[in-house]
């Protein structure tokens, strides 16, 4: 455990709260703005991470790819109508190196489809690298390592 | 009017199949017997997943849990994951290495070797003259249920049937030719994705053989102005009808976006620009003219090369409306780090989150939901004709391979699908 600057802790937790709410409220177009331009976002099964295997179900290594994901979701992709609900734990700051902060947080994404039942859709943890850019905390990389390695139907909306 | 097996009175044909086949528990049970435990070879995994002696991987044949193990002698074995004593699951991990090649059931510590032969039973002779098994107890009669195992180019298949032809014959020359092209050199596994669909396995099997839906359900390409219907393409079937391969030639020159807009019924909003085209980039790496290769091998696997994504998709039938699809992604063993990163970018296109493929899971569930209570009603599979041809080109405006699936399936199922003479009072 490193001594945690409460301001930094608050910044990371606030970013996570805003991130989850923007996805859950359906404001997908805001989602890429949580990242720096030269970013990495991936959603990867824990079974792969534990076995040193790199394949991810989403692997976006530029902000442009995040934007493309959102445009595809809005205009091209077909998936069950649903609401998402992110429950994100308080982050644990795992390192501070100059401008760069590393942190991890647990998450659970609940999903509600048209049948009205709310299911635990995806549980896992975020492994993040962040920097402060123009006064705002931004994600340099976010790796969503999911325990729920049986994806229900498909995974369309970012985690 | 419904019969005992949950089907209507009229027999199914490759062009018209009773919707009850997606819902009937009797049909599902018959499929486990006639298809998965019958005269077929089911995909079990890749040799590259179990490279070392003692390596194992949990897998399935239909609904039956099976373990694939490389023995200490290097031989690949497969056995049903069910202890011969009380039926308990013997191997409880998804994968791993059993250095001594032995598998011990935790319940009463019955021990099996990598081939599934019973090699140890605690207190077999009892203790101090009390208990134990009788003199006639022969461990040789209490081994795990073993499968016949054969591999082709690193794809491992197993069967319960002693009658089915050897694997190479079952696959046939056309299917082998296309397996050869993907497994042209050694592969390495990049990882897994598991997707669970609340739908019948045959709906997914039809989907992977359905060329007609490609450009209509999956709108990523046309949305970004990269519609490619005009490319050279073909569908080829094996003799039985139930194996199929689609190929599309590498892009050459102009795209044909306009003609699509005229035919499609879903509103097209005009092309938008991709911000980052690197996920679409294609680096030809097999010495032929093919850019896309989707190959469905009955009953349980799809082999694909889409751009630079290489994968097997294993179909596991957990129940009449519970189907798991296990994606095993791989690259070539000699890929450098940059090439691996390129494959990871390409993987955005496929899998449960695939920009050009995620819709398949939804299509399966929509068909499952829509056919509830529809036994005795029939689907309509006459796009591009009512026959089954060995070769159909260009593909995309036909359901030839879907009819091929049903032709092979119906032949295997035979009397199991015949409607019972005893009518259920409706």
The domain that holds A23 is classified in CATH as 3.10.450.50
What the block records as the tokens of B219 is 């709108």
User: Does the distance separating the beta carbons of B198 and A154 come in below 8 Å?
Assistant: no
Rounded-to-integer distance, Cα B115 and Cα B51, Å? 16
Q: How far is CA A10 from CA A16, A22, A136, B282, B330, in A?
A: 10, 18, 12, 44, 41
The verdict on a CB contact (< 8 Å) between B196 and A152 is yes
Give the gap in angstroms from C-alpha A146 to the nearest C-alpha of chain B: 11
**Are B362 and A80 spatial neighbours (Cβ–Cβ below 8 Å)?**
yes
CA distances A28 to A18, A35, B56, B85, B192, Å, are: 12, 13, 42, 55, 27
Q: At what angle do helices B201-208 and B400-413 cross, to 10 degrees?
A: 140
Quick one: closest CA in A to B358, which residue? A154
In a domain, A128, yes or no: yes
Its ipTM equals 0.96
Residue of A nearest to B93 (CA): A47
Asked if residue A51 belongs to a domain, the reply is yes
Amino acid B6: pLDDT = 80
Please provide the distance, in angstroms rounded to a whole number, between the alpha carbons at the two ends of chain B.
Answer: 6
Q: Do A71 and B197 touch (CB under 8 A)?
A: no
Does residue A48 sit within a domain? Answer: yes
The reported pTM is 0.94
Is the confidence at residue B256, as pLDDT, over 80? no
Contact B272 A59 (CB under 8 A): no
> Looking at CA atoms only, how far is residue A113 from chain B in angstroms?
12
Cβ contacts of B279 on chain A, cutoff 8 Å: 65, 68
Cross-chain Cβ contact A79/B95 below 8 Å = no
Give the mean model confidence (pLDDT) for residues B341-366.
96
Given a cut of 60, whether residue B227 has pLDDT beyond it is no
Beta carbons of A45 and B359 less than 8 Å apart: no
Buried b (16+ CB within 10 A) or exposed e, B243-272: bbbbbbbeeeeebebeebeeeeeeebeeee
10 Å Cβ neighbour count for A138? 16
Which residue in chain B is spatially nearest to A57 when comparing CA positions? B353
Structure confidence at residue B272 (pLDDT): 84
| Residue of chain A minimizing CA distance to B197 | A153
pLDDT of residue B75 exceeding 70: yes
C-alpha A31/C-alpha A40 separation (Å) is: 13
Domains of chain B listed by start with CATH number: 50-148 (2.102.10.10), 171-415 (3.90.380.10)
Q: Which residues contact B422 (CB under 8 A, 6 or more apart)?
A: B3, B4
Residue among B193, B279, B362 whose CB faces A78 most closely: B362
CA distances from B112 to A148, B45, B51, B69 (A): 31, 21, 21, 12
Facing residue for B344 by CB, picked from A51, A55, A77: A55
% of chain B exceeding 70 in pLDDT: 91
Q: Which of A95-99, A140-144, B420-424 has the highest mean pLDDT?
A: A140-144
pLDDT average, residue stretch B371-399: 96
Residue A40 forms part of a structural domain: yes
Q: Give tens-digit pLDDT for B81-92.
A: 999 999 999 999
User: A83: Cβ–Cβ under 8 A, 6 or more apart, which residues?
Assistant: A24, A111, A112
How far is A52 from chain B, CA to nearest CA, in Å? 9
Q: Which domain holds residue A26?
A: 6-146
Put simply, whether A2 touches B (Cβ < 8 Å) is no
Which has more confidence, B102 or A2?
B102
* B272, B276, B353: residue with CB nearest A57: B353
pLDDT at B216 over 60: yes
Residue A87 lies in a domain: yes
pLDDT of B390 > 70? The answer is yes
Q: What is the pLDDT of residues B276-323, one digit of tens each?
A: 988 888 898 998 989 899 999 999 999 999 999 999 999 999 999 999
For residue A152, being part of any structural domain is answered with no
Quick check: A151 and B223 CB within 8 A? no
List CB contacts (< 8 A) between B195 and chain A. 150-151, 153-154
Whether the CB-CB separation of B76 and B47 falls below 8 Å is answered with yes
Is the per-residue pLDDT at B424 higher than 50? Answer: no
| Partners of A137 in beta bridges | A132
Q: B191, A54: Cβ pair inside 8 Å?
A: yes
How far is B308 from B286, CA to CA, in rounded Å? Answer: 10
Q: Which residues sit opposite A143 in a β-bridge?
A: A42, A127
Residue of A nearest to B266 (CA): A76
Q: Return the biggest CA–CA distance within chain B.
A: 87
- Shortest distance between the Cα of A8 and any Cα of chain B, in A, equals 32
Angle formed at CA B179 by CA B339 and CA B300, multiple of 5 degrees: 105
Going edge to edge, which strands form the sheet with B391-392?
A151-152, B187-197, B322-332, B309-319, B301-306, B290-297, B244-249, B233-237, B391-392
Q: Do A75 and B365 touch (CB under 8 A)?
A: no
Asked if the C-beta of A133 comes within 8 angstroms of chain B's C-beta atoms, the answer is no
Q: How many domains does chain A have?
A: 1
**Chain A residue at shortest CA distance from B341:** A54
Tokens encoding A48? 């792969």
């Amino acid at each position: 455990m490193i001594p945690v600057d409460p301001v930094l802790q608050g910044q990371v937790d606030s970013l996570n709260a805003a991130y989850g709410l923007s996805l859950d409220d359906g404001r997908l177009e805001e989602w890429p703005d949580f990242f720096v331009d030269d970013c990495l976002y991936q959603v990867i099964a824990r079974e792969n991470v534990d076995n040193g295997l790199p394949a991810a179900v989403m692997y976006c290594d530029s902000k442009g790819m995040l934007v493309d994901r959102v445009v595809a979701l809005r205009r091209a992709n077909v998936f069950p109508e649903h609401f998402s609900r992110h429950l994100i734990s308080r982050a644990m700051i795992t390192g501070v190196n100059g401008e760069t902060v590393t942190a991890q947080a647990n998450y659970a994404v609940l999903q509600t489809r048209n049948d009205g039942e709310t299911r635990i859709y995806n549980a896992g943890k975020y492994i993040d690298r962040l920097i402060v850019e123009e006064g705002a905390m931004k994600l340099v990389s976010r790796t969503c390592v999911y325990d729920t390695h049986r994806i229900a139907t498909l995974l369309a909306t970012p985690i | 009017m419904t019969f005992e097996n949950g089907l209507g009175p009229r027999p199914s044909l490759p062009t018209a199949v009773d919707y009850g086949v997606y819902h009937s528990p009797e049909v599902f049970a018959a499929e486990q017997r006639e298809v998965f435990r019958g005269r077929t070879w089911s995909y079990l995994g890749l040799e590259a997943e179990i490279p070392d002696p003692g390596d194992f991987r949990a897998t399935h044949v239909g609904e039956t849990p099976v373990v694939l193990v490389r023995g200490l002698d290097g031989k690949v074995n497969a056995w049903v994951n069910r202890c011969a004593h009380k039926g308990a699951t013997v191997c409880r991990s998804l994968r791993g290495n059993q250095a001594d090649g032995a598998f011990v059931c935790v319940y009463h510590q019955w021990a099996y070797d990598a081939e599934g032969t019973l090699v140890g039973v605690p207190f077999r002779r009892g203790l101090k003259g009390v208990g134990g098994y009788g003199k006639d107890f022969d461990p040789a009669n209490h081994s795990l249920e073993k499968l016949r195992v054969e591999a082709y180019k690193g794809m491992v298949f197993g069967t319960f049937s002693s009658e089915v032809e050897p694997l190479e014959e079952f696959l046939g020359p056309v299917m082998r030719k296309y397996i050869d092209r993907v497994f042209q050199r050694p592969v390495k596994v990049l990882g897994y994705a598991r997707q669970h669909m609340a739908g019948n396995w045959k709906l997914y099997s039809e989907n992977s053989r359905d060329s007609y839906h490609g450009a209509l359900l999956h709108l990523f390409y046309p949305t970004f102005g990269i519609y490619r219907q005009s490319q050279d393409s073909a569908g080829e079937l094996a003799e039985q009808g139930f194996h199929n391969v689609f190929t599309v030639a590498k892009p050459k020159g102009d795209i044909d976006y306009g003609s699509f807009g005229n035919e499609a019924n879903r509103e097209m909003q005009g092309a938008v620009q991709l911000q980052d085209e690197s996920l679409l980039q294609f680096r030809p790496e097999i010495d032929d003219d093919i850019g896309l290769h989707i190959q469905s091998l009955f009953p349980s696997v799809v082999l694909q090369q889409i751009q630079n994504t290489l994968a097997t998709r294993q179909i596991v039938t957990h129940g009449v409306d519970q189907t798991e699809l296990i994606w095993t992604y791989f690259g070539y063993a000699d890929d450098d780090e940059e090439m691996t990163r390129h494959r990871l970018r390409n993987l955005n296109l496929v899998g449960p989150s695939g920009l050009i493929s995620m819709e398949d899971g939804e299509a399966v569930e929509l068909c499952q939901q829509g056919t509830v209570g529809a036994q005795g009603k029939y689907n309509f599979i006459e796009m591009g004709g009512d026959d089954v041809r060995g070769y159909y080109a260009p593909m995309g405006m036909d359901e030839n391979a879907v009819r091929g699936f049903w032709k092979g399936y119906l032949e295997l199922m035979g009397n199991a699908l015949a409607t019972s003479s005893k009518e259920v009072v409706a």
